[in-house]
Structure 1
Amino acid sequence: MTSEMNSFRETNPYFERISFAKLESIQSIPDLVDIQRRSYSWFLQSDSKREERKYQGLEQVFREIFPIYDSHEKNLTLEYSGYTIGGSKYSEYQCCDRDQTYSAPLKIKVRLINQKTGELREQDVYMGDIPLMTSRGTFILNGAERVIVNQIQRSPGVVFDHDEGKTDPSGKRLYSAKIIPYHGAWIEMEYEIGDVLSVRLDKKRKLPVTVFLRTIGFEKTSDILKLFYQPKVLKSGSIGEGKDHPWTKSVLIEDIIDSETGEIVVLAGAELNEDIISRIEALGIKQIKVCDISEKGSDVTILRTLEEERHKLAEKDNVHITADEAILKIMEVLRPGDQMVPDAARQELNKLFFAKDLRKYDMGEVGRYQLDKKLGFDLRKVNERYLRPEDIIGVISKLIQLNREQTQTDDTDHLANRRVRTV
């Protein structure tokens, strides 16, 4: 605090605090504006050297913008080297007296690199004046002292919820999950009537969640089924009448293919019945891989979702959609009107959700911690702020568990799911 402001307070009677309380104070009033000062100090990092500043606040903003490339020939690159904050032209008291803003000049050091010639130019660029915070946690704008009020907002991470049985006529709860990043597009998953699980990317049109799974490394239907069901082998003679594996509750994990013609006879995900059993035996197949959906903990969500995917998106009845078809379907929803080849579409989806470039998608340390805690992952990997395929699988598995057990979900209004947004 400047000497001018101190003398102003000493000579001004309005700054004297008078207590009319009859009881003596047993505890001093806490510093209620300390959170404001610490927040703005975290944002500016003015006490740190330029090369020692962390990836946060104003430093993070500049790093997300730079480097900037020449959009035409891409020969020129503008790189960021750091910023400096100068001193204020006026003191706090002078700003109040002269109707000025208490601020300081902000300059950044940039390098212009010519990729062809290797020529490099470096200079400081004036970006404007940035407001400074007073010791009282306030800002002085045009001579008026202002304060920023903290906000309580939704915390990044994953939130599970349900519709309280309002949608399904039977009163069954339909569960949903939202993966909320600190910065980037949302991923929303929700149950529909009939145990079909859908996904909504960036608040666009819904698609079966199995379509999304095919684009993140699980291209085949058998790969998806093995994620959520335990495969078992039924040998010849036990396919139709085994006590441990009754065929009426078994589902094929892999496609049944005619070795002579290469044609798919029975699709993976089909529930065994007498007709399918006879067709399998006619091909001379000795053993098949199945999952028993009658077991404790089994669920039909993925099977119903695969059926929905096949009926809505597959071009033919007896085929699954391919990974290339799945990625193109998703990009039709995310980028309607854009014509893309599968490789370009896959790169675009990866940039949108799974790239390690935090400029596109950032869960934040709090979001990563919240997500890992709810899914039972390693809590020490808070630096992995990008989205991972195992996160998607974990959220789907948790949703299936909630749907099966019909248990309570997160309270979105609970302070554990909220964060204070400071200056």
Structure 2
Amino acid sequence: AWLEFETDAKNISYVRVDRTRKLPLSVLVRALGFGSDSEIKEIFGDSDTLDLTLDKDVHKNPADSRVAEALKDIYDRLRPGEPKTTDSSRSLLVSRFFDPRRYDLAAVGRYKVNKKLSLKNRLLGYTLAETLADPDTGEVLAAKGTVVNNEVMDVLKDYLDRDDFKTVTYTPSDEGVIPEPVTVQEIKVFSREIPDREIKL
């Protein structure tokens, strides 16, 4: 199973599931269980690209929830012509991406993904939009406005490996593919393109 992500010339983000026609990225996020625009903005932060992508993702069938509609949209791309229901759509996505017998990254794959997405790798060079403090003592580790260079990263690196440092838990809808709450590590920084805009890493 393939997931390909791309952004077009109009700054709209798309996803292709198994090399099918592209869908707005928000359709995949909704299918996972985060149905409302406000939930998606809470997870990804506010950006022009996200706003344009959400504008492209139109709610076509008011009888369906946004999550159910997204599941059916993806099912329609993967199995065109077959009758689609919310349950069949959900089970197809679960079997493609969440069934360890069919889709298993194994230890090496998980290591590579975690290394690529690690905040330690992505935070360097950004300016903090919030003060980072030790969760146990309250001691300030890096003040708001600090540029994260190698010296600052030496102070932060052990904290970034902790499960209780700057984590947020998001709870998906029961209709979605993800059955349990998802905990992620988020740090607010200032955008490199628009220095007064806060973004989440």
Fold equivalence (TM over 0.5): yes
Q: Identify the residue that residue 50 of structure 1 maps to in structure 2.
A: none
Q: Identify the residue that residue 370 of structure 1 maps to in structure 2.
A: 112
Q: 1:222 to 1:320 in 2, by over 3 A?
A: farther
Q: 1:405 to 1:338 in 2, by over 3 A?
A: farther
- Once residues 320 and 339 of structure 1 are traced to their aligned partners in structure 2, the CA distance between those partners, rounded to angstroms, is 15
**Per-residue deviation at 1:315?**
5.0
Q: Identify the residue that residue 55 of structure 2 maps to in structure 1.
A: 307
TM-score, normalised with respect to structure 2: 0.56
The answer to whether the 8 A contact 1:328-1:345 is kept is yes
Secondary structure of the 2:32 match is coil
- Once residues 118 and 12 of structure 2 are traced to their aligned partners in structure 1, the CA distance between those partners, rounded to angstroms, is 25
- Once residues 202 and 375 of structure 1 are traced to their aligned partners in structure 2, the CA distance between those partners, rounded to angstroms, is 22
Q: Identify the residue that residue 39 of structure 2 maps to in structure 1.
A: 223
**Per-residue deviation at 1:364?**
2.4
Query: Do structure 1's residue 208 and structure 2's residue 24 form an aligned pair?
Result: yes
- Once residues 314 and 186 of structure 1 are traced to their aligned partners in structure 2, the CA distance between those partners, rounded to angstroms, is 26
- Once residues 342 and 217 of structure 1 are traced to their aligned partners in structure 2, the CA distance between those partners, rounded to angstroms, is 12
Structure with greater helix share of residues: 2
Q: Per-residue CA shift, 1:330-387, capped at 9, x if unaligned? A: 00001111112101211111111123x2x210112221111101111798xxxxxxxx
Q: Identify the residue that residue 79 of structure 1 maps to in structure 2.
A: none
- Once residues 19 and 65 of structure 2 are traced to their aligned partners in structure 1, the CA distance between those partners, rounded to angstroms, is 23
Q: How does 1:177-256 map to 2 (within 5 A)?
A: 185-229=1-45
Letter of the aligned partner of 1:361 in structure 2?
Y
Q: Per-residue CA shift, 1:221-264, capped at 9, x if unaligned? A: 221111122xxxxxxxxxxxxxxxxxxxxxxxxxxxxxxxxxxx
Query: Do structure 1's residue 341 and structure 2's residue 157 form an aligned pair?
Result: no
Identity fraction in percent: 34
Q: Identify the residue that residue 360 of structure 1 maps to in structure 2.
A: 102
Name which one, 1 or 2, has greater alpha-carbon Rg.
1
**Per-residue deviation at 1:320?**
9.9
What do you get for the CA RMSD once the two structures are aligned? 3.4
Letter of the aligned partner of 2:10 in structure 1?
G
Q: 1:205 to 1:346 in 2, by over 3 A?
A: same
- Once residues 5 and 40 of structure 2 are traced to their aligned partners in structure 1, the CA distance between those partners, rounded to angstroms, is 17
**Per-residue deviation at 1:314?**
2.6
TM-score, normalised with respect to structure 1: 0.28
Letter of the aligned partner of 1:222 in structure 2?
S
Q: Per-residue CA shift, 1:119-156, capped at 9, x if unaligned? A: xxxxxxxxxxxxxxxxxxxxxxxxxxxxxxxxxxxxxx
- Once residues 13 and 54 of structure 2 are traced to their aligned partners in structure 1, the CA distance between those partners, rounded to angstroms, is 9
- Once residues 320 and 348 of structure 1 are traced to their aligned partners in structure 2, the CA distance between those partners, rounded to angstroms, is 18
Q: How does 1:153-192 map to 2 (within 5 A)?
A: 185-192=1-8
Query: Do structure 1's residue 350 and structure 2's residue 94 form an aligned pair?
Result: yes
Q: Identify the residue that residue 85 of structure 1 maps to in structure 2.
A: none
- Once residues 18 and 107 of structure 2 are traced to their aligned partners in structure 1, the CA distance between those partners, rounded to angstroms, is 21
The answer to whether the 8 A contact 1:219-1:322 is kept is yes
The answer to whether the 8 A contact 1:314-1:321 is kept is no
Q: Structure with the greater relative contact order (CA < 8 A, sep ≥ 6): 1 or 2?
A: 2
- Once residues 53 and 116 of structure 2 are traced to their aligned partners in structure 1, the CA distance between those partners, rounded to angstroms, is 24
The answer to whether the 8 A contact 2:61-2:69 is kept is no
Q: 1:349 to 1:223 in 2, by over 3 A?
A: same
Q: Per-residue CA shift, 1:302-340, capped at 9, x if unaligned? A: 111010112xx6358xx9961111100100001111112
Q: Per-residue CA shift, 1:189-218, capped at 9, x if unaligned? A: 000122210000111110000000011120
Q: 1:299 to 1:221 in 2, by over 3 A?
A: closer
Letter of the aligned partner of 2:5 in structure 1?
M
Unaligned runs of 5+ in 1: 1-184, 230-297, 380-387, 407-423
- Once residues 64 and 11 of structure 2 are traced to their aligned partners in structure 1, the CA distance between those partners, rounded to angstroms, is 19
Letter of the aligned partner of 1:370 in structure 2?
K
The answer to whether the 8 A contact 1:221-1:320 is kept is no
